[in-house]
Amino acid sequence: MKLHALSLAVLASLSASALATESVDPLKKAFIDDSQVKVQFRLRYEDVDLADVDQQNQTTLRTRLTYQTGDIYKLFALAEVDDVRSTDDEPLIADYEYTQINQAFIGYRGPANTLAQYGRQRILLDNQRFVGGVGFRQNEQTYDAFSVKNTAVEGLTAYYAYVNNVNRIFPEGSGKDEHKNKTHLVNVNYKGLDFVKLSGYAYLIDNVNVAAFSTDTYGLRATGDIKLDQLKFNYEAEYAQQSEGGDNPVSYSAPYYKLGAGVNFDAFGAKVGYEVLGSDDGKAGFITPLATLHAFNGWTDKFLFGGKGNWENGIVDTHVILTAKVAGLKLLAKYHKFDSDYGDVDMGKEWGVSATYPFAQHYSLGVKYASFSGADAGYAFSNDTDKLWLTFQANY
């Protein structure tokens, strides 16, 4: 009798659980119970002092609202809206007033650790040297694309995206805010070895609006850390080759390579680097039209070249980076010396410093300053330039 009563009790419990499970509304569970809502505020003051041009400054506030559903039959959705308000509209500062959808996509968690996404989405590959989001600017660069990522093999990530539109950082109606594309992005990286992380990539950019941005780029990248007692050494080495793609009117072939080595001790670090965006004998240079350009070749953005990130003579960037963490404060200092890859042009030098302080879990304060000078006269980038940024950010 006791066993029978226990069996009835267990059966009753299981039946109740089954009924409760059946009564759960999958839509309510996905769209309400398992959903996530995030809000971010980023307030920034930027000051630009360009030699022979009036000094300009601007204050902007970006409000970002992100909503992601839970899974329903392995499907989920994400929507993200940005709004930027500005005190001024200054031509030297690339932040503008706008309200728009920053991301909006449907995702599917498929078999064998496969994630597929369709719609407007963020694409950040490797260190964003070739494909990124320009996250420093208030208007982020996102992509209308179909993408698929697979991590079935331990340590291996295979990524593919077909991009049909690039939503750039420029304001709507400017004629530069969108570039129609027929672009294929392939990136495979392997992190299964202790001493090296490897990436191989093929970026076949076919820009319908600006044919000069169309390129075929193939490359390899290796990074790693080596620990020796209390010291940690790090390195990076990368090589890529680029030629014209799509309807690019110029036939060329140009290389890219980067070498870097650094050391970290406790909270302090130092790194030296040598980066070359090559030139095909002055006919055309290795360009990076989808890159997060602000993170490379100096914070003053002297070498954007209309979004290409290079000119026909190429760029040689020799740089030193110092880092430190003191009482929660993240410190960084950079020095760059720029020369042309072709034509013996002194493209100037830049130094910059930044400090970031995260506090109270949700907030951070940042200050950044950069100064560019010393380029040969007569070039579009030759004006001495100083820039200052003050940023406050809140995430909820």
Enclosing domain of residue 106 = 26-395
Does residue 279 lie within any of the structural domains? yes
Q: What is the pLDDT of residue 173?
A: 82
Does residue 1 lie within any of the structural domains? no
Contacts of 187 (CB under 8 A, 6+ apart): 125, 126, 131, 158, 159, 199, 200, 201
Does residue 294 lie within any of the structural domains? yes
Do residues 26 and 34 lie in contact, with contact meaning Cβ atoms separated by under 8 Å?
no
Structure tokens that stand for 245 in this block: 């793609």
* CA geometry: angle 164, 190, 225, nearest 5 deg: 120
CATH code of the domain containing 295? 2.40.160.10
Residue 238: count other Cβ atoms within 10 Å of its Cβ. 21
Does residue 99 lie within any of the structural domains? yes
- Distance CA(130)–CA(186), nearest Å, equals 12
Q: What is the pLDDT of residue 11?
A: 35
Report the candidate in 294, 288, 310, 332 with the shortest Cα–Cα distance to residue 94. Answer: 294
Contacts of 288 (CB under 8 A, 6+ apart): 129, 130, 277, 308, 309, 310
Does residue 21 lie within any of the structural domains? no
Residue 318: count other Cβ atoms within 10 Å of its Cβ. 15
Supply the DSSP symbol for 29. Answer: I
| pLDDT digits 0-9 by tens, 49-85 | 999 888 999 999 999 999 999 999 999 999 999 999 9
Does residue 16 lie within any of the structural domains? no
- Distance CA(375)–CA(370), nearest Å, equals 15
Does residue 6 lie within any of the structural domains? no
Report the predicted TM-score, pTM, of the whole model to 2 decimal places: 0.92
Does residue 367 lie within any of the structural domains? yes
Q: What is the SS3 assignment for 318-353? A: EEEEEEEEECCEEEEEEEEEEECCCCCCEEEEEEEE
Strand partners, 370: 352, 387
What backbone torsions phi and psi does residue 6 show, to the nearest 5 degrees? -65, -40
Q: What is the pLDDT of residue 23?
A: 62
- Distance CA(85)–CA(76), nearest Å, equals 31
Which pairs from 149-155 meet CB under 8 Å and 24+ separation? 149/114, 149/115, 149/116, 150/112, 150/113, 150/114, 150/115, 151/113, 152/112, 152/113, 152/114, 154/192, 155/190, 155/191, 155/192, 155/193
* Beta strands at 156-167 and 363-373: parallel, antiparallel or unpaired: unpaired
Do residues 213 and 207 lie in contact, with contact meaning Cβ atoms separated by under 8 Å?
yes
- Distance CA(234)–CA(351), nearest Å, equals 23
List C-alpha distances in Å: 304 to 16, 292, 300, 307.
64, 10, 10, 5
Strand partners, 246: none
Which residues of the chain carry a pLDDT beneath 70?
1-23
- The domain total for the chain is 1
Do residues 330 and 368 lie in contact, with contact meaning Cβ atoms separated by under 8 Å?
no
Residue 288: count other Cβ atoms within 10 Å of its Cβ. 28
Residue 369: count other Cβ atoms within 10 Å of its Cβ. 16
